[in-house]
Amino acid sequence: MVEPPEEIDYLPATAALRPAIVDLLRSCALPVEDLPVTLEHFVVAIAGQRLVGSAGLELLGDIALFRSLAVAPSWRGRGLARRLFEETRSRARALGARSLYLLTTSAQDVFAHWGFVTVPREGAPPAVQGTLQYRTLCPGSAVVMCLDLLPPARR
Ligand SMILES: CC(C)(COP(=O)(O)OP(=O)(O)OC[C@H]1O[C@@H](n2cnc3c(N)ncnc32)[C@H](O)[C@@H]1OP(=O)(O)O)[C@@H](O)C(=O)NCCC(=O)NCCS
C-alpha cells in the first residue's frame, strides 16, 4: 500500500520553536548568531510534530533581507523551500518592502530560478551592507542577490 504524503503546515514561527530553528540552521551551516529575537517575520514548515523547514525576513526600511531558508535533508526536493519562499515573499509585500535581498554561498541557482538577480557585493544597499550577515557571518565569497517586488510600472 502506498503511504499518503505527510501533510505539511506552514505557520508563523513562535519563540517556542526557536531552539528547533537554531538546530536546523546549524545543521545546514547557516548563521544563527544574528537570528532576530522575536522571529516575528519567520515562517516554519511543520510535518507532524517536527520542524522541517524555515525562512525569514529582516526588515531594513523599504527593503527586506530574506534569510534562514532551510529544509531538513530528508524533506528536500518536495517543494518545501518554494512554499516557504512564497509565504515569505507575500509577507514582505504586505509589509511594504520594495525588494528582497539575500546572501548565499550555496543556493545561487535556486534563487536565480526564482527570479533573483546577482548584484555586485559593493552595490548592495547600505542597509544590507550593515547587516551582520554581510559584515561578518557570510564569507566574502557569498553572493548578494536581489528580487524586485514592485510591479514594473511602480519601479
Ligand atoms: C536550498 C534548499 C532550501 C532547497 O530546499 P528544497 O525544499 O529541496 O527546494 P524545493 O524542493 O522547493 O525546490 C526549489 C526549486 O529550485 C529548483 N532547483 C533545485 N535545484 C536547482 C538547481 N541546481 N538549479 C536551479 N534550480 C534548482 C527546483 O526545481 C525547485 O523549483 P520550483 O520552485 O520551480 O519547483 C535546501 O537544499 C537547503 O536547505 N539547503 C541548505 C541550506 C541552504 O543552502 N539554504 C539557502 C540559504 S542562502
* Contact indicator for 92, 100 with CB cutoff of 8 Å: yes
Exposure string (b/e) for 13-40, b if CB count within 10 Å is 16 or more?
Answer: beeebbebbeebbeeeebbeeebeeebe
Question: Among 55, 60, 139, which Cα is nearest to 95's?
Answer: 60
Residue 137: pLDDT band (50, 70, 90) is: confident
CA of 112 to the centre of ligand 1 (A): 10
Whether 4 has a pLDDT exceeding 60, the answer reads no
pTM of the model: 0.94
- Our answer on whether the CB atom of 31 is closer than 6 Å to any ligand 1 atom is no
CB distance 71 to ligand 1 below 6 Å: yes
Residue nearest to atom 12 of ligand 1 (CA): 79
* Strand partners for 154: none
pLDDT confidence of 107, banded at 50, 70, 90?
very high
Q: Is 81 in the pocket of ligand 1 (CB under 6 A)?
A: yes
Q: How far is the CA of 118 from the centre of ligand 1 (A)?
A: 17
* pLDDT value, residue 140: 82
pLDDT in tens, 33-54: 999 988 999 999 999 999 999 9
20 and 30 Cβ atoms separated by less than 8 Å: no
Read off the pLDDT of each residue in 138-144 and give the average, rounded to a whole number: 87
pLDDT value, residue 1: 47
- Going by C-alpha positions, the residue among 108, 145, 111, 105 that lies closest to residue 125 is 145
Q: Is the pLDDT confidence value at 2 over 70?
A: no
- Give the whole-angstrom CA distance, residue 138 versus residue 42: 20
